[in-house]
């Protein structure tokens, strides 16, 4: 494990930025935190989490795929991708790191999504432990430990120091470049900070929420439960929950006539929309109840059934904070399965 004083952290950032673009959370204009490219003088946000997750670095909200030019009956396909460059994302929380496990199983299985895979190969994640978990956090429900954020590099911050530990070759390679700024320290140097995080987690209102009643093999038991009608009744179908979610991976592909050819791009989509996957024959989920049920059944039943029991929720709490009618996965889980302590 290595460490440096917090007053030297900007020197660490500057050294990283010499060889790769560095991004970290900063306070946005609307009061929330957003990821921004580091430049000298950039002030890091002290907020727990960003409004949008770091998923955006690897699976952007909009992304050009290719372009086409036609001349008579001839069609040229143009690769619009730029050469991939190395980048580093600092301050990723344990929940968002776990979200990459979910996304990897979607985009990096055969046939691999080369757009996503290339970014994963060139990106380095520096994960930061959560010193002040929020009342909306429930990552432990899904076996995630906020004091042990497993990125390429794990980091722990105290009032005066920051500690780093490499978790793989990619992380070790980056820390080796920072050897002149970091000092070696004992592997248990951050243990006191970890104990403080545990103490906070034990007091959170959702600490008792469990996955009991969910998981693979529960489709028949849960699909026709009458509670879906009640839970979905007030849902606006706005899609906010899907756009702030670090694990949602639905997208649409569109063609745009530029006037000088056709640009094909993909953009995030939401299973909560009435026109989601709507084809010539119509939509196979005609009601908001069906769309609502699909979202939560996928996260709590379908995905774990097909991915060795891994749930596709990481308990980040973004949907709890952002849903305009205060409907979220925690309420669904309480109503349909595991109960949270009062």
List the structure tokens of 334. Answer: 């309480």
List the structure tokens of 295. Answer: 């979202």
List the structure tokens of 67. Answer: 């372009």
Q: Read off the pLDDT of residues 173-212 as tens digits, 9 standing for 90 and up.
A: 999 999 999 999 999 999 999 999 999 999 999 999 999 9
List the structure tokens of 210. Answer: 């469990």
The number of residues making up the chain comes to 342
pLDDT of residue 341: 37
pLDDT of residue 279: 67
pLDDT of residue 100: 98
pLDDT of residue 282: 66
pLDDT of residue 96: 97
Per DSSP, 197 falls in state: H
Residues of the chain with confidence (pLDDT) below 50: 340-342
- Our measurement of the distance from residue 91's CA atom to the centroid of its chain's CA atoms, rounded to an integer in Å, reads 12
What residue ranges in 187-323 does DSSP mark as E strands? Answer: 251-257, 262-268
pLDDT of residue 72: 82
**Residue written as tokens 């004091």?**
147
* pTM score of the predicted model: 0.92
pLDDT of residue 224: 94
Among candidate residues 338, 217, 242, 342, the one with its CA nearest the CA of residue 292:
242
């Amino acid at each position: 494990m290595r460490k440096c004083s917090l007053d030297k952290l900007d020197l660490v950032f500057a050294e990283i930025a010499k060889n790769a673009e560095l991004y970290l959370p900063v306070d946005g204009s609307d009061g929330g935190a957003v990821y921004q490219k580091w430049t000298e003088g950039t002030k890091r946000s002290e907020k727990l989490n960003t409004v949008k997750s770091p998923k955006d670095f690897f699976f952007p909200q909009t992304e050009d795929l290719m372009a086409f030019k036609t001349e008579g009956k001839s069609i040229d396909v143009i690769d619009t991708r730029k050469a991939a460059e190395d980048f580093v994302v600092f301050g990723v929380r344990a929940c968002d790191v776990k979200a990459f496990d979910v996304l990897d199983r979607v985009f990096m299985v055969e046939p691999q999504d080369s757009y996503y895979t290339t970014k994963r190969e060139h990106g380095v994640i520096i994960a930061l432990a959560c010193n002040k978990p929020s009342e909306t956090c429930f990552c432990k429900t899904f076996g995630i430990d906020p004091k042990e954020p497993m990125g390429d590099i794990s980091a722990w911050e105290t009032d005066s120091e920051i500690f780093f530990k490499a978790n793989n070759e990619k992380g070790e390679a980056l820390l080796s470049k920072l050897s002149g700024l970091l000092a070696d320290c004992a592997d248990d140097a951050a243990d006191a900070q970890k104990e403080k995080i545990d103490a906070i987690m034990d007091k959170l209102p959702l600490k008792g929420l469990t996955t009991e009643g969910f998981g693979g093999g529960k489709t028949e038991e849960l699909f026709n439960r009458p509670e879906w009608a009640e839970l979905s009744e007030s849902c606006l179908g706005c899609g906010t929950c899907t756009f702030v979610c670090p694990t949602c991976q639905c997208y649409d592909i569109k063609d745009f006539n530029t006037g000088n050819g056709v640009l094909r791009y993909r953009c995030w989509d939401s299973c909560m929309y009435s026109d989601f996957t709507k084809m010539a024959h119509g939509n196979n989920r005609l009601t908001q109840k069906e769309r609502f049920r699909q979202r939560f059944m996928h996260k709590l039943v379908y995905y774990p059934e097909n991915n060795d029991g891994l749930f596709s929720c990481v308990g980040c709490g973004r949907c709890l904070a952002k849903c305009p009618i205060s409907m979220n996965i925690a309420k669904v889980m309480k109503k349909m399965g595991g109960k949270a302590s009062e």
